Amino acid sequence: RCIGDGLYGVDLKETKDGVFVIEVNDNPNLDHGWEDSGEKDEVWVRLTQWFLERLDRPGR
């Protein structure tokens, strides 16, 4: 956990040589229709559950 256990966005670049991390953002974009293009509403359900679990942590 080099940067913590929060919610981060990762910008990737795909080239003929592979996929490379361009940057890691601590304020990610979450775009309807893109992030949920595969699993639909399950993405938002899981993300909401993740936030609720963090709110319930002792010492928060």
For 4-48, what is each residue's pLDDT tens digit? 888 899 999 999 999 999 999 998 888 888 888 888 899 999 999
pLDDT of residue 40: 87
Bridge partners of 11? Answer: 23
Nearest to 26 by CA among 48, 36, 45, 11: 11
Q: What is the mean pLDDT of residues 54-60?
A: 82
- Please report which confidence band the pLDDT of residue 1 belongs to, taking 50, 70 and 90 as the band edges: low
Q: What are phi and psi of 51, to 5 degrees?
A: -65, -45
Q: What is the mean pLDDT of residues 45-60?
A: 88
d(CA 14, CA 43): 23
List strand residue ranges (DSSP E) for the chain, in order: 9-15, 18-25
pLDDT of residue 51: 92
